Amino acid sequence: MFLEEIVAAVDRRATEWERELPAIRARAEQAPRPRPFREALLTAPQQVGVIAECKHRSPSKGWLTPSYDPVGQARRYQALGASAISVLTEPEFFAGDMEHLASVRAAVNCPVLCKDFVRRPVQVWQARSRGADAVLLIVRIIDDRSLFADLFAMVSELGMQALVEVHSAVELERALTVDPLLIGINNRDLDTFETRLEFSHQMAARIPSKVTAVSESGIQTAADVLGLRRAGYRAVLVGESLMRGGRLLEDLRS
């Protein structure tokens, strides 16, 4: 239910952006050079890179914090050792904004992921125009195989890296057709928003060793992270627990 509504809203917004494509492309061409996203994850001192997320609300959980300062949050994450920052930019369901992405990118030295529901090329241009170093591509919402390959190639051509997200073995097979460097296993079912951390453990053996595996959603503690590392994951994406004041980053440092 949530996903269909989100995708419909995303398509409406992308249609509006397409009318401004020349200006968006011009901004993208002037944006600062992308920072190496995957490399930042692989050189994390704890042997597990943490992508710490700035997110104001969730369709299933509501507001995650009474006041939202994405720049301040991102700076705290970086100071606590996060390898990269993820910024939710979807406005209607997550209260995100592309300006949050631009502001965070200007405030930190680590790479920044644009986390949105990308389905059209204009969205990739928009992410680059706001300084994104990496872009999330969700296999489930890109039905056209040719379009998926084109979006993946476009991310690379603009100097960014794609974190290709899947939530099933079938989606993983589709993702691997473009030979990605990064695969994100989302423990949250985007249709129901149910989250199961064990899903990452179930999928671990299916991910080729040459691919950097990232576990997303439902990660609460340092023990969760270390268990995922033993299963073969080199990075985790953590948002909700950190936005609610969780001490995962501090615990990993100690």
* Residues identified as active-site: 53, 55, 115, 165, 186, 216-217
171: three-class secondary structure by DSSP = helix
**Residue 156, Cβ neighbours under 10 Å: how many?**
13
- The amino acid that residue 72 corresponds to is G
In whole angstroms, give the CA distance from residue 32 to residue 22: 18
Q: Is 120 left (phi over 0), alpha (psi -120 to 50) or beta?
A: beta
* Lookup: tokens for 33: 């050079």
- The angle, 0 to 180 degrees and rounded to 10, between the axes of the packed helices 121-129 and 98-107 is 40
For residue 57, give the H/E element and its range.
Answer: strand 57-58
Closest alpha carbon to 64 in 94, 101, 102: 94
